[in-house]
Amino acid sequence: MFKDEKTLEELRKITPKLSGISYCIVTRDGDNIKIHCRENQPCIGGEHRKYNKTHPGDCTRPNDPRPGDLSDPFPKGTPVALSYNRQVFKEAKELVQFVLSDESPWVRGFRGEKYIEFIPPKHKTLAYSGWILKTGKIDPTVWINCLKFLQNASYIAFNDLIAKGMTKKEAVTCMALMSINKIPANKEYISPPSPYTMSIASSVNRVFTGQSRDLTGGTLSDRYDYNRPEMACVFTDEDQKTVPFVKQLSDKLPFEFSPEKFISVAKEIIHKNVD
């Protein structure tokens, strides 16, 4: 647990002031602690890792290409904490808190809710202005996958799934395994997840029980680089023969259905795959 209060207080102040897709990487080099701001990034993954082009001999995945739109190389030293500028509206509070809780499918990517500190809101419409992750001893591939999910997850869909009878864990499992902005009304709207973030072959059981795969081989604090090419596979089984969740839904549902029918069938499929 990172406990340097002076640095944490600085993170609380500067993180909400950053613009665009922004985050901070905190490193320790001997007794020296430094905050490295990454503001207006082209993507959330970006400079969360090293590349052979900028760090020859100091990257764990030297064959992965470096995107050409990055500008700030990964810093020197031991990563000990991270922070993220994210406006979390009150309506999205429950979703974000669950995804960053001990029950989260991605918990191995941030080690647990005790390592998360939410930054107080800048104004009344917000629940939070971002969060701080008080450790670098994380699986960065799982963590980036988690952040990718949060970037696109619809709190409207989450809140509706909960209101119609799903638990939070069931709702997030459903959202992770398909593209859903609202409860679909017929099979034409049952779509697979974004292949960049979540493989269609992802295991329902792995997502629901939080059994993410180690596709990294080490932790961020040990300067291991996240596995960008295989990031979408953090919940796949090694043989990848799992029948996709969306196909199981399509096989079980009639062409048109009510929200209640969708919830009932989705819950049945989730627990059939888990039990």
- For residue 24, the model assigns a pLDDT of 97
Residue 185 has pLDDT above 90, yes or no: yes
Q: What share of the chain is helix, strand, coil (3-state, %, to 5)?
A: 35, 15, 45
Contact of 46 with 140, CB cutoff 8 Å: no
Q: Helices in 66-223 by DSSP H: which ranges?
A: 93-99, 140-152, 155-163, 168-176, 204-209
pLDDT at position 71 is 81
In the predicted model, is pLDDT for residue 146 greater than 90?
yes
Give me the pLDDT at residue 217, please. 97
What pLDDT is attached to residue 239? 84
Both structure tokens of 270: 């989730």
Domain ranges across the chain: 5-140, 157-274
- Which structure tokens are listed for 194? 């974004």
Strands 126-133 and 78-89: antiparallel
- Estimate the crossing angle of helix 168-176 against helix 155-163, to 10 degrees: 130
Tokens standing for 267? 């819950």
CA dist., res. 246 & res. 233, Å (int): 16
Strand partners, 118: 131
Look over the chain and give the mean of its residue pLDDT values, rounded to a whole number.
95
Q: What is the pTM of this model?
A: 0.96
Cα gap 231→6, rounded to integer Å: 34
Mean pLDDT lowest among 52-66, 143-157, 163-177: 52-66
Q: Return the H-helix or E-strand segment holding 246.
A: helix 245-252
Query: What is the percentage of the chain residues whose pLDDT exceeds 90?
Result: 91
Q: Mapping DSSP to helix (H, G, I), strand (E, B) and coil, where does residue 27 land?
A: strand
C-alpha torsion 58→62→68→73, nearest 10: -10
- Name which of 74-88, 238-252, 254-268 the model is least confident about: 238-252
Q: What is the pLDDT of residues 190-249, one digit of tens each?
A: 999 999 999 999 999 999 999 999 999 999 999 999 999 999 999 999 887 789 999 999
Give Cβ neighbours of residue 161 (< 8 Å, ≥ 6 apart): 170, 171, 174, 175, 183, 263
User: How confident is the model at residue 238, as a pLDDT?
Assistant: 86
Q: Please tell me the predicted confidence (pLDDT) of residue 241.
A: 79
Separation CA 177–CA 200 (nearest Å): 7
Q: Looking at this protein, which amino acid is placed at residue 259?
A: P
What pLDDT sits at residue 127? 97
Maximal C-alpha separation, the chain: 63
Q: How confident is the model at residue 35 (pLDDT cuts 50, 70, 90)?
A: very high
pLDDT, position 84: 98
